[in-house]
Amino acid sequence: MTARPSSFRAAAPAIAGADADYICVRVIDALLREDVRECISRGELLGSAALPPEVTAEAGQRWLRVGHLGAAVLWIPVSATRYMQEWRLTGLPLWREDAGGFTPLREIDAVLAAFAGDLPGEAAQLFAAYAEECRAAQEHRGAALAERARWFAEPGHAPGHARLRWDVRMQHYERLAAFLDHPYYPSARAKLGFAVDDLARYAPEFRPVFELNWLAVPRERYHPSGDALPASWPAFADLGLPPALAATHVPVPVHPFVWQHHLDGFLAEAGLSAEVIRAPRTRLRVSPTLSVRSLTLIDAPEWHVKLPLTIRTLGAKNIRTIKPSTIGDGHRIQTLLGEIAAREADMRGRVLFTDEASGAHVAQRPFLGFILRRYPVQALADATVVPVAGLLAEAAGGTTVVEELAARYYGGDLEAWFDAYLSLTLRLHLTLWLRYGIALESNQQNSMLVYADDGLRLLLKDNDAARIDLGLLARRWPALAGRLDGLEDPRIVVDDALPLAQMFITITLQLNIAALVEGIAQRLGTDPAASYARVGDHTRAVLAELAGAGEDVSFAHQVLLADDRLYLKYLLTAASLMEKTQTGAADVNKYYGLRAPNFLQVAQ
């Protein structure tokens, strides 16, 4: 184990080069995976003989020749793979060939400039802007890794499941998860809008504690959903304002980063500057969770408050404000899911949900409002709650979280752990899809594993971005469909099976299962084929049970097990490298391509 630096400021220069290479390799793999600028579909695969000796270090190396991006030719060393793409980068550098000869490229700015090639100004600018995002990712990654090293060097690091309270255990695992990169978005480490110093103030890697700012908002501008508030929610007297103000105004929390940097401009633009009153005192101690803008209430940890935050994550277009429609829609879908879980014997008591009934927006503005999320304390009191996003994270002892959990709850048997996880995850999501016409965006952050001595349960939160075949639901389960009356976001409702399949494949199968298969195999130095065989076996078993109960599973069987290719998300393309007018996607997080090799077929 290497020595751990005492502060990220001291360590950042020493690890900057490694961070730059790490981000660069991830970006190039994403460019290949998403066929950016048709680099794969129009490129030419050649052997080493096509290049001069000074370029080709290994005789057997395959090269992707990309000659349609402008005057120069780009040569990319590639290796075959079946995980999410057919070809991945073998290693840096790439080579640029022009009239002056061959030039090695190993810095992300040069690589992105080569991919931008002959694009017109506005399109090329998107690649230049993304290079800035990559630089932020490098800087933020260096700061985060140094903080992790500092944290791990502290004495008394017990495993997360050994901590005293359920909320402390959950916060521990969420902090570990925050140090782990998103499997597929290459510059996810960047929290665009935050400077490095802001990470220490507001980011979950640093586990800061701070108090919220507050505005007094006129009641006619305040639009609540639900009325449950934590006992510690402040009154105007707590905020240094006259108590009589409660007759005409309501207190609304504001994240201190927004308060300091953007609130004045937002209020002026909305014409609200003269209508709201700034409270002179801060109140309600909070600490950031994995999602950054969702904050744990320190003195009432079963409550989280989700606030608009003017940073962008997973791409320049993903600003983390709160659309007013998500407040009611999230509660409608949560209520629907709760009723389904209660009626399905395999889900009853094994699938839990956070209560997200309460929230509010101000004058339909996405920068003013909040959502309150309450965790089911009685079900979690003796449990260990772990986000799927944290399963592959490294713990202080050098092991991973998943190994730690397998040791505690499955006698160290990783295969038994994986079987339990697959059984519950696939049964839940395939049943929702095929019986009820529902696909959840229950990504690694929104899916929580709940471990206790009586077994494994799932806890789902933040369900406002589902895709639902409302026609199917209404035909088969009209009472359940009624729970969605008043649904506000039109993108939620779909009218055929394909969007449900795309959501299931890209979230449940690829993000929540395949990423774990590959990560565990890499950790143990094993072939992932055996684990994919288990995934295939569990999938076939659940489909067979559903078919036996009268459900039509033919389409699911085709797209999951029979087709050669799976859909994947074009995360980088849609979120950073192309405008919506070019992609045609209604949601930048749901732009798909049929490009991923079907890794389940390796075991067939």
Residues 6+ apart with CB under 8 A from 449: 385, 386, 387, 388, 391, 405, 421, 456, 457, 458, 459
Q: Strands 94-98 and 73-80, how do they pair?
A: antiparallel
Domain of residue 74, residue span: 16-122
**Cα(500)–Cα(590) distance, integer angstroms:** 11
Contact predicate 106/94, CB 8 Å: yes
pLDDT in tens, 225-264: 988 999 999 999 999 999 999 999 999 999 999 999 999 9
**Can you give the pLDDT at residue 16?**
52
Reply yes or no on whether the pLDDT at 590 is more than 90: no
Residue 6 has pLDDT above 60, yes or no: no
Q: What CATH number should be reported for the domain holding residue 526?
A: 1.10.510.40
**Domain boundary pick from 122, 139, 161:** 122
- CB of 48 within 8 A of CB of 61? yes
Distance CA 295, CA 288 (A): 4
User: Quick one: pLDDT band at residue 320, thresholds 50, 70, 90?
Assistant: confident
In a domain, 336, yes or no: no
Query: Which pLDDT band holds residue 2 (cuts at 50, 70, 90)?
Result: very low
**Is 143 part of a structural domain of the chain?**
no
Say how many C-beta atoms besides its own lie within 10 A of residue 369's C-beta: 29
pLDDT of residue 383: 95
- Identify whether 175 is part of a domain: no
What was the pLDDT predicted at 4? 28
β-sheet bridge partners, residue 447: 460
For position 586, what pLDDT does the model report?
76
User: Both 216 and 100 in a single domain?
Assistant: no
- Tell which of 91, 122, 153 closes a domain: 122
Average pLDDT over residues 207-236: 96
pLDDT greater than 60 at residue 480: yes
Residues 199 and 118 in one domain: no
Spatial separation of the C-alpha atoms in residues 497 and 160, rounded to whole Å? 40
| Spatial separation of the C-alpha atoms in residues 65 and 74, rounded to whole Å | 6
Phi then psi dihedrals of residue 102, to 5 deg: -105, 130
Does residue 111 share a domain with residue 195?
no
338 inside domain: no
Better pLDDT: 493 or 5: 493
Average pLDDT for 285-296: 97
pLDDT of residue 18: 78
Instruction: Give the C-alpha separation, 388 to 448, whole Å.
Output: 6
Residue 477: which residues within 8 A CB-CB, separation 6 or more? 436
Three-class SS of 304-345: EEECCEEEECCCCCCEECCCHHHHHHHHHHHHHHHHHHHHCC
Q: Looking at residue 118, which CATH number applies to its domain? A: 3.30.310
Same domain as 524, residue 400: yes
Nearest Cα residue to 470 out of 324, 343, 332? 332
Q: Which of 14-18, 415-419, 593-597 has the lowest mean pLDDT?
A: 14-18
Instruction: Write the CB contacts of 541 (distance below 8 Å, at least 6 apart in sequence).
Output: none
Q: What is the pLDDT of residue 55?
A: 87
Interval 138-152 mean pLDDT = 95
Nearest in space to 515 (alpha carbons), one of 425, 452, 604: 425
Q: What is the mean pLDDT of residues 53-66?
A: 87
Q: Are 566 and 482 part of one and the same domain?
A: yes
Residues 289 and 431 in one domain: no
Question: How would residue 315 be classed by pLDDT, with cut points 50, 70 and 90?
Answer: confident
221 shares its domain with 117? no
pLDDT at 355: 95
pLDDT exceeds cutoff 60 at 14? no
CB count in 10 Å sphere of residue 579: 12
- Of 187, 152, 155, nearest to 172 by C-alpha is 152
- Give the residue from 325, 347, 366 where a domain finishes: 325
- Give 369-419 pLDDT, tens digit per residue: 999 999 999 999 999 999 999 999 999 988 999 999 999 999 999 999 999
Mean pLDDT of the chain: 93
pLDDT for residue 108: 96
Determine what percent of the chain is predicted with pLDDT higher than 70.
96
Q: Over the stretch 338-371, which tens digit does the pLDDT of each residue have?
A: 999 999 999 999 999 999 999 999 999 999 999 9
Q: 9 or 141: whose pLDDT is higher?
A: 141
Q: Is residue 398 part of a domain?
A: yes
Q: Which residue has the tokens 């030719």?
A: 73
Angstrom distance (rounded) from CA 230 to CA 377? 14
| DSSP states of 67-113 | --SSSSEEEEEEEE--SSSSEEE-SSPEEEEETTEEEEE-SHHHHHH
Question: How far is Cα 133 from Cα 316, in angstroms, rounded to an integer?
Answer: 8
Residues 299 and 395 in one domain: no
Read off the pTM. Answer: 0.94
pLDDT above 70: residue 128: yes
Q: Are strands 62-66 and 73-80 parallel, antiparallel or unpaired?
A: antiparallel
Position 379 in a domain: no
Asked, for residue 467, whether it belongs to a domain, the answer is: yes
How much of the chain exceeds pLDDT 90, in percent?
87
- Asked if residue 353 is part of any domain, the answer here is no
Least confident of 121-125, 154-158, 293-297, 596-600: 154-158
Q: Is residue 116 domain-shared with residue 198, that is, in the same domain? A: no
Query: What's the domain count of the chain?
Result: 3
Q: 532: which strand partners?
A: none
In this structure, the dihedral spanned by the alpha carbons of residues 203, 166, 452 and 541, taken in order and rounded to 10 degrees, is -30
566 and 425, same domain (yes or no):
yes
